[in-house]
Structure 1
Amino acid sequence: MDERIINITLRKTRAVPRTQRARRAISELRSNVARHMKVSEDDVWIDKGLNEAIWARGITNPPIHITVKAVKFEDDLVEVSLPDNSVASN
């Protein structure tokens, strides 16, 4: 089991139309974690709390940075969640 704390920049979400920004942030987070943990994007599972942290300010204003904890299991499944003592930052 491999565990990492990763700070992900979601700044590219500002390049898409306002009504697609939170969805784009989720896809950027998924691709970034997949690249760092060396798995496919289909094997990345995003926790409900992390999803709610990204969507907390609505679809038009997701956070620019977010710190996540990624845990890779033996079957190449990666679970991504918020660290225990952290919340989304601007």
Structure 2
Amino acid sequence: MVEPLKEHVYVIPLRDAKRAPRWKRGKIAMKDIRAFLARHMKSEDVKLDQSINEKIWERGGEKTPGKIRVRAMKFEDGQVQAELAEE
């Protein structure tokens, strides 16, 4: 297994998704998570784990969580992989 260059745990606010129309909130939350990680980890190649997707959509696309805790890892090739952080 390849060791990551850097690893961080982020609490990503999803308040912007709450201001969107109800039917768009899940999709916008996923875009916000990807954009947050691209900005903070300085990489455009962001891969999100299925557990993040399931957490956002578990109560439906209209009732997204207000924030989400994510563990992000950046590798040598510049790829960022993120998964849901255990609490």
TM-score (norm 2): 0.92
- CA deviations on 1:27-71 (whole Å, 9 max, x unpaired) are 00000010000012xx00000011101111100011001110000
What is the aligned-residue identity percentage? 40
Q: 1:37 aligns with which of 34, 41, 51?
A: 41
Asked whether 1:2 is paired with 2:6, we answer: yes
Q: 1:52 aligns with which of 41, 51, 54?
A: 54
Q: Which residue of 2 aligns with 1:72?
A: 74
CA distance in 2 between partners of 1:70 and 1:62 (Å) = 20
CA distance in 2 between partners of 1:50 and 1:15 (Å) = 20
2:10 partner SS: strand
Greater than 4 Å deviation, 4+ residue runs = none
CA distance in 2 between partners of 1:15 and 1:53 (Å) = 19
CA RMSD after TM alignment: 0.7
TM-score (norm 1): 0.89
- CA deviations on 1:67-88 (whole Å, 9 max, x unpaired) are 10000010000001011x22xx
- Shift in Å, 1:15: 1.5
Report how many residues are paired: 83
For the 8 Å contact 2:26–2:57, the answer to whether it is kept is: yes
CA distance in 2 between partners of 1:69 and 1:54 (Å) = 15
